[in-house]
Every structure is written in structure tokens, then in C-alpha cells.
Structure 1
Amino acid sequence: MIESDFRMFLENDPSIQSYKAINSRISKGRTVERCCGQSLDMIVANDTLMYACLLLINRNLNNSNGAYSNALRKYYTFANHNTFPQLNAITF
């Protein structure tokens, strides 16, 4: 994860209102890296891996409020300049 650039991206996101929210997303991103065993950069570079990691997050982390998947999705938007589709909209 490129933390400094991601932090700047989050600071400029109008939907994020506080530094606490920014720090939380960065912390959750680190946890996602540990859970998936890869850097966020590697995960978001491959849509199949992104999909697999979102499923893994839902299985292995307390993601009932969507905080971990939100952090990963924000990083995907940061890295790819577009959003990743919802899991129920994806077909392989």
C-alpha cells in the first residue's frame, strides 16, 4: 500500500469527514493485506484477486459493517480511478 498517496487521496474525498476516518481506512487496509497475504497494490491490480479478497474478508474478518471491504474498495478507486462492482453484480 502506498500510504502517503492513499492518505492524500482520502483527505480529498468529500465523503470522508475526519482524520479518524482516514486513519481507520488505512489501518483496515493493513489488516486486509495481512488477511489476503498480499499488498493492496497487488490485490487491486487484478479483478479476480480483488473479488477473491472481498470474499475472504467477508469470511475471515468481522466485516458486518463493511469497513474492511470499504477500505479495499477505496484503495481500488485510488489505484484504478474507477469503482469495483458489487459482489452480487459479478459473474465469471
Structure 2
Amino acid sequence: MKVQVISATDKSKTLGEIIHEAKAYVKNHSVSLSKLVENYLNSLTRTSKMQTTVNPLVESLTGIIPSEYDEKKDYGKFESFFGRKVCNLF
């Protein structure tokens, strides 16, 4: 079975070619292939955990503004109260 993999450089490689390159890499860097895969998979889960961490301040502000809020309507009120010249400063 031939599996095509698209790498970051847009060069299509077969799974066999990727495994061959990985074996050459581990030989040159004195690490086992299983350890290389383990480290890669750990980095994926670490990255996804880091991306889901939300700052406590942001968390506390989440949901304050209702989804049906019309900022254009409120900006119009702001503009009519302060005048266009002041609003153009923002």
C-alpha cells in the first residue's frame, strides 16, 4: 500500500520515504525511532494544552457582552453625543 504524505515544503513523499529519512535521522542523532515518535506526540499534546489555556482575566470577561449586542447602534449614540470631530480621533 502506498501512502502519499504532503510535507510542509509541499513535496509529496511516500510513507516509506519518510520512514527511511527518519531512520537516517535517528542514526545520526543517536536516538531511537520510538523515542523520536514519542517526543513528537508529546509535543503535539503539549501544544494543544498550551493553546487551550485562557488567561483568568479573559475568562472572567467571557460572556459579559451579549451576543445580540449592536455596537454600531451604540457608536451612533456616542457619535451624536460627542460629535463627529471627537469620534474621528478614535
- Normalised to the residue count of structure 1, the TM-score between the two structures is 0.29
Larger Rg: 2
Instruction: Answer 1 or 2: which has greater strand percent.
Output: 2
Pick 1 or 2: higher relative contact order, CA cutoff 8 A, min separation 6.
1
Higher helix proportion = 1
TM-score (norm 2): 0.30
